[in-house]
A and B are shown apart, each in its own frame.
Chain A
Amino acid sequence: MTATQDIAISVRDLKTFFYTNNRCNKALNGVSFDIKKGKTLCIVGESGCGKSVTAASIMQLLPTLSRIEQGEIIYHADRGDIPLHALEKNGRHMRRIRGAEIAMIFQDPMTALNPVYSVGFQIKESLRYHMKMVGRAAHQKAISLLKEMGIALPEKRVNDFPHRYSGGMRQRAMIAMAMACSPKVLIADEPTTALDVTIQAQIFELMDKLKREHGTGIMLITHDMGVVAELADDVAVMYMGNIVEAGTVDEVLRQPTHPYTKALLASVPVLGKGRNQDIKAIRGSTPDPLNRPKGCQFADRCDFAVAQCQTMPEETRITPTHRVMCWRYKELVPNG
């Protein structure tokens, strides 16, 4: 177990529910994980499994009809532990942390920047509110941020509007904005889904550099297993509002234990194996979130399901860092 001072944010038994038409969607049903300082935690899972809700819960940016029902999100700040889940949504304390200590970048850089303000203006907004930096100093800081993110001619580009930036440049600008106040944690919600592959690699390289140079803890939401292998220190696999398996990147990728993780890894095509390779799509589809199975959420699609799977499995630790939510994990652990 890592010492507490290395942890930036710890999430314990988090439950976030959505309410629509008097029905309740348990989007997050007891999620626990830690974001460590200077490490990357990748959260993987298919669409709708609760990855983005996790991010929104930490930032307290949940939509109106949802709320954190139970559990805690503790931000381990230098000035002491702060329970984020207990802070008022758009209150002063939460706003002080947002952007300054925990920053976020979003999926689609095309729409995440405000089209009517220059990129520089939007970077300077953060500086003004969190660092009390205005005027020439803020302008210089914005330029140096853009420069650090690898934008050519930052002195000129700082005054440009987002529509004159390409997709990759916009995401760089977004990262510049997020990094403006040197946050402790950077939450990236599928930051490269909207970008092409070469740009993806550049953006990830940039994020890795920030992690190394600034010691920023990164929570990266993705569904790209290649990215996980490349960037992650820790991995959490989510399925229908639960973390079904979590551990270090080696543990999860080399010794996948949960049937879902195995299935997920088996469904990744491998470059160079040709078109006849055996890609196993996971059979069935995700259950209706408003009408979930009672027990293990994956049971209906699982090749190893037994009668016991009709009740929710406990979280079990295989090693101090590797945990899994499955009744049959003992039989399924590779090499053991």
Chain B
Amino acid sequence: MLTYIIRRVLILIPMAFVICFLVYLGLELTPGDAVSHMINPDAAGSMNPAQLEALRQSLGLGQPFHVRFWSWFTNLVQGNFGYSMSGGVPISNIIATRLPATLELAAVALVFSTVIGSLLGVVSALKRGSKTDSALTVIGMLGVSIPEFFFGLVAISIFALNLGWFPVGGRSMPGYVTLWDRLPHMVMPAMVLSIMLTAGVMRYARSSMLDALSRDFIKTARSKGLPEWRVNLLHGFRVALTPVVVLIGFRLPVLIGGSVIIEQVFQWPGIGNEFISAVRSQDYPVVMTIALLSVMAVLVASLIVDILTAVIDPRVRLGE
């Protein structure tokens, strides 16, 4: 098991390097360079080309691609992501303030959707054909197919504007900093983010559970005289879990990079919101860093999925 994990982590290193390279290549291929972004077009027209060239040289832009990539990469490894073009703030600062907000939301949504989703899915599978199952199926389909911004707007309209239970948006009121104070702010975005995920997990857990329950070993387990709960949970659910874990694992990067819409709807100061403003102001270094972060999240998520599936399903442990 340990060798398996070590091997998976070692495979990650060259993959991460290649991804960094591709991201930097993307940055290189965008039209213009740092100088053309730094100086506003009106001023650039009146500037001496020699001056522009001198500025380029002073910024190190005259050096060949691979040299620049290497210096960018070594900085990256040391945690220095460069500077934002609008405002010149170190990107690592931006990430440090924005990422916790996003992670907070993602963690709540992930835990909630995993627990509730698989629970409802299992109930649905065990009571197949019943009214509960039909109701859950309909709710699940609605949850999967209705876009989340719609749920967000509906939630704001009902719970914030009409009932006044929760604040409309934001992460915290000025001056209130404890987790308890932030909780009311978190409820709506976290729940809305959870809806789609929960529905997806539920649908998946249901079909996976039904598949597991129709297998021969369930009959074997029953023929041994085991009680139903043990047949369903230990023999059925344990086997049904693998595909569900894979699904949840691959939703992880979506939660980190892709809660853009939810963060926008609820004015949540996370990475997603930062991403939108960076794209709007053509702040390439920030956009690239966030892209890099999302891709890394995918890598880490797939590592976690691989390890978890190996824990759950002994057939996966090929490294032994």
Contact = CB atoms under 8 A, between A and B. Distances in A.
Given A115-B313, A116-B313, A104 B223 contact: yes
Interface of B: 215-217, 219-228, 230, 234-235, 238-239, 312-315
17 contacts: A61-B222, A98-B225, A100-B225, A103-B224, A106-B219, A106-B223, A112-B217, A112-B219, A113-B220, A114-B217, A115-B314, A116-B239, A116-B314, A125-B224, A126-B224, A126-B225, A177-B220
Contacts of A114: 217, 220-221, 235, 238-239
B266 to A, nearest CB: 40
Contact of A95 (B220, B225, B234, B313): B225
- Kindly name the residue among B223, B227, B228 whose own CB sees the greatest number of chain A CB atoms within 10 A: B223
A99 B314 contact: no
A90 B217 contact: no
Nearest to B217: A114
Contact of B222 (A90, A113, A117): A90
Task: List 7 A-B pairs, minimum CB-CB distance, nearest first.
Answer: A99-B225, A98-B225, A99-B224, A111-B216, A114-B217, A95-B225, A161-B314
Contacts of A177: 220, 224
A97 B223 CA distance: 9
Given A95-B227, A113-B217, A126-B224, 4 more contacts: A99-B224, A99-B226, A111-B216, A113-B220
Given A111-B215, A112-B217, A103 B314 contact: no
Contacts, number: 77
Nearest to B235: A114
A265 to B, nearest CB: 32
Given A111-B217, A112-B216, A113-B217, A61 B314 contact: no
Contacts of B223: 59, 61, 98-99, 103-104, 106
Nearest to B231: A90
Nearest to B242: A116
A142 interface: no
B315 A161 contact: yes
Contacts of B234: 117
Interface of A: 59, 61, 90, 94-100, 103-104, 106, 108, 111-118, 125-126, 129-130, 161, 163, 174, 177
Given A114-B239, A115-B315, A161-B315, A97 B217 contact: no
A108 B216 contact: yes
B219 to A, nearest CB: 6
Contacts of A163: 314-315
Contacts of B239: 114-116
A103 B225 CA distance: 9
Nearest to A115: B315
A129 B220 contact: no
A118 B314 CA distance: 9
A129 B224 contact: yes
A319 to B, nearest CB: 35
Given A116-B314, A161-B315, A163-B314, A97 B225 contact: yes
A112 B215 CA distance: 8
Given A95-B227, A126-B225, A129-B226, A112 B313 contact: no
B222 to A, nearest CB: 6
Contacts of A108: 216
Given A115-B314, A116-B313, A125 B226 contact: yes
Nearest to B241: A116
Contacts of A117: 234-235, 238
A321 to B, nearest CB: 30
Contacts of B235: 114, 117
A209 B111 CA distance: 54
A99 B227 CA distance: 12
Given A114-B239, A116-B238, A161-B315, A61 B224 contact: no
